Structure 1
Amino acid sequence: MEPHSLVNGALRLVQPDEKSGLRVNVDTILLAHFARPKAGERILEIGCAHGSISLILAKRGTLLSPRGFDVTGVDIRPDLVELARANAESNGLKAEFVAADVREYKKIAPAQSFDRIVVNPPYDEAQSSRRSPSDGRAAALHGSCCTLEDIIRAAHYLLKNRGRLDLVMRADRTGELFALLDKYKTPPKIMLCVHPKPGERASVTLVEAMRSGSRGLAVEPPLFIRGEDGEETARLKAAYEIL
C-alpha cells in the first residue's frame, strides 16, 4: 500500500483499503483541527484506526513546543493498531497505539488518566442502521463494536476532572449526544456546526465537552465546506494546515 499525503504534506500515512476500514475524510481533518491541546497534555484517541488524528496531533505538538503532546491511540482491531504503529515510525513521531475494547475501559488506563480525549464515533447505531457487509466498516460506521453511550461512559472514566472531550457527530444526533454528555456529567462547552454550503442544514457538529465542567455553551460561527460559488472555503482549507 502506498502512503498518502495529509495536512498539505506534513504527514504521509498508509491507510486501509476501502473494504476493510475507513480512510481519512473531511470529518477526520476537521476534528483534528478542532481539537487544540495545550503543551504537555496527555491525549487519548478512541477508535484511532490507522492513526491519522493521533499522528496529526503528535506532529502538531512537535512543532508547537519541545514538550509536545503525549498521545495514545486505542482501537479494537489489532491490524489497524499495527498499521498506526508503522505510520508513527515512518513519520518519525512518538505515539503509543494499543489494541483495546472501549467497553472495557478500565483496562485501558486508570481513572482520570488523560487531559483530553478525541474521538470520531460511529455515526449510526447497530440496531438502527443497515450494517455494512465489511466488519471493519460496520465497526467504524454502524457501532457494531460499541455505542455512543459506551464512548461517553469510557471518556468520563478516563478523563481528569475538567479534562476535555473533542468529538464529531452527525448533526441530527446532536440532541442525543448532549443528553448523554449531561448524563455522564461532561457538559458541552463549545459547538461548531459544519454545513455543506450556505443555506443548507448542518451535516455534522464538532463538540468540545468538559468532565465536571460548569454549564454554558459557546456556539462558534458556522463552517461551510463550500461557498456560494461552489469552491472550498478558506476556513475549510485552513483545517488542512498542520498548525
Structure 2
Amino acid sequence: MEDCHSLLCGALKMIQPAAGEGLRVNVDTVLLAHFSRPKRGEKILEIGCAHGAVSLILAKRGFPVTGIDIQPHLIALAKKNAALNGLEAEFISADIREYKKIAAAQSFDRIVVNPPYDEAERSRPSPKEPVSAAMHGACCRLEDIIAASHYLLKNRGRLDLVMRGDRIGELFALLDRYKTPPKLIRCVHPRPGERASVALVEAVRSGSHGLIIEPPLFITDASGAETPELKEAYIIEEGR
C-alpha cells in the first residue's frame, strides 16, 4: 500500500511505493540531490527517477527537470508527487538503453542518476521485479547509463551520481572509456573510522583529467549522533 511521507524537514510530501513495488527515499537519495549543483538555466535529466524524489528536490530548488524511468507505475507516482507539491517536472516512461529515442544528442546540461548498485549477473536479484530493476541492474547495466549520459549530455555537461564504494574503480574506468572523466568525488562514511559506503561523483563530458577529492562526509559522529554535514543535506535552499 502506498503511503505519504513528509521529507526534508517538511519541505516535500512524497507518496512512496508500496513494499516490493520500488525503492523508497533513503539517505543516498538526499545526498545525491544535495551534491548536485546546477546553474540557472541548465536543462537537467534524471535517469531512473523512480517516484521522483531527486527530480522534485531539484525542482523545489527552482530547476527544470525531466525524469525518466522504465517502470510506468513509478512514473505515474512521480507525476502524483509533482502535483501534490505543486511543482513542475516532466516524467516520462522510457528505457535508457534506447537513449537515442529519448532525446537528440547533447540535449542536456546535467544528468543526475542513482544507478543500480549491482549487476544482474553478479548478484542475486530480488524476486520483486521493481526492486530487481532498481537494485540489481535487471533493466540496464552501469555501462548502459554511462553510454547514454555521454550521448545525451552537451559538451562540458555534467554527470552527477552516487555509487557503492567498491564499484568506484569500475565506474571511473567506464567514465574514462566514454570520455566523461570524473572531476569531483566525495566519499560518504557511516561514521569515522569506517570505510566509505558510497561515493558522490561529478564527471564532465569531454572534460580534461584532474580530480578534486572533497573532504569526507560522515553520516554520524563517533557517538552515533547525526553530523552537521548530513543535516545540511536535508535542508532545501532554493536556487542552490
TM bucket (normalised to shorter chain) is over 0.9
- Find the aligned partners of 1:184 and 1:211 in 2 and give their Cα distance: 8
CA deviation after TM superposition for structure 1 residue 18, in Å: 2.5
The Cα offsets for residues 110-149 of structure 1, whole Å up to 9 and x where unpaired, read as 0000000000000000000011010000000000000000
Count of residue pairs brought into register by the alignment: 236
- Find the aligned partners of 1:81 and 1:104 in 2 and give their Cα distance: 17
- Find the aligned partners of 2:219 and 2:80 in 1 and give their Cα distance: 32
Provide the residue aligned with 1:65 in structure 2.
Answer: none
Q: Quick one: which amino acid aligns to residue 74 of structure 2? A: L
For 1:200-219, list aligned pairs within 5 A: 200-219=194-213
Provide the residue aligned with 1:126 in structure 2.
Answer: 120
Provide the residue aligned with 1:21 in structure 2.
Answer: 22
Provide the residue aligned with 1:32 in structure 2.
Answer: 33
Runs of 4+ aligned residues of structure 1 deviating over 6 Å after TM superposition are none
The Cα offsets for residues 30-64 of structure 1, whole Å up to 9 and x where unpaired, read as 00000010111100000000000000000011xxx
Length-normalised TM-score, structure 1: 0.96
Length-normalised TM-score, structure 2: 0.97
- Find the aligned partners of 2:211 and 2:232 in 1 and give their Cα distance: 24
3-state SS of 1:123 partner = coil
- Find the aligned partners of 1:210 and 1:8 in 2 and give their Cα distance: 32
Provide the residue aligned with 1:154 in structure 2.
Answer: 148
CA deviation after TM superposition for structure 1 residue 2, in Å: 3.1
- Find the aligned partners of 1:224 and 1:14 in 2 and give their Cα distance: 28
Whether the 8 Å CA contact 2:33–2:54 is kept in 1: the answer is yes
**Is 1:137 aligned to 2:131, yes or no?**
yes
Whether the 8 Å CA contact 2:3–2:17 is kept in 1: the answer is no
**Is 1:7 aligned to 2:8, yes or no?**
yes
- Find the aligned partners of 2:15 and 2:227 in 1 and give their Cα distance: 27
The Cα offsets for residues 67-96 of structure 1, whole Å up to 9 and x where unpaired, read as xx2210000011110110111011111100
- Find the aligned partners of 1:18 and 1:142 in 2 and give their Cα distance: 17
3-state SS of 2:37 partner = coil
3-state SS of 1:194 partner = strand
- Find the aligned partners of 1:83 and 1:7 in 2 and give their Cα distance: 19
- Please identify, of 202-211 and 4-13, the stretch whose mean Cα deviation from structure 2 is larger: 4-13
- Find the aligned partners of 2:115 and 2:79 in 1 and give their Cα distance: 21
**Is 1:89 aligned to 2:83, yes or no?**
yes
1:106 to 100, 105, 111: 100
> Percentage identity across aligned positions?
71
**Is 1:193 aligned to 2:180, yes or no?**
no
Whether the 8 Å CA contact 2:45–2:110 is kept in 1: the answer is yes
Q: Quick one: which amino acid aligns to residue 186 of structure 2? A: L
3-state SS of 1:48 partner = coil
Whether the 8 Å CA contact 2:187–2:216 is kept in 1: the answer is yes
Provide the residue aligned with 2:57 in structure 1.
Answer: 56
3-state SS of 1:199 partner = coil
**Is 1:226 aligned to 2:236, yes or no?**
no
3-state SS of 1:8 partner = coil
- Find the aligned partners of 1:70 and 1:198 in 2 and give their Cα distance: 36
CA deviation after TM superposition for structure 1 residue 217, in Å: 0.4
Unaligned residue ranges in structure 2 (runs of 5+): none
Whether the 8 Å CA contact 2:3–2:18 is kept in 1: the answer is no
Provide the residue aligned with 1:64 in structure 2.
Answer: none
Q: Quick one: which amino acid aligns to residue 187 of structure 1? A: P
CA deviation after TM superposition for structure 1 residue 178, in Å: 0.1
Q: CA RMSD in A?
A: 0.6
3-state SS of 1:162 partner = strand
- Find the aligned partners of 1:142 and 1:153 in 2 and give their Cα distance: 18
Unaligned residue ranges in structure 1 (runs of 5+): 62-68
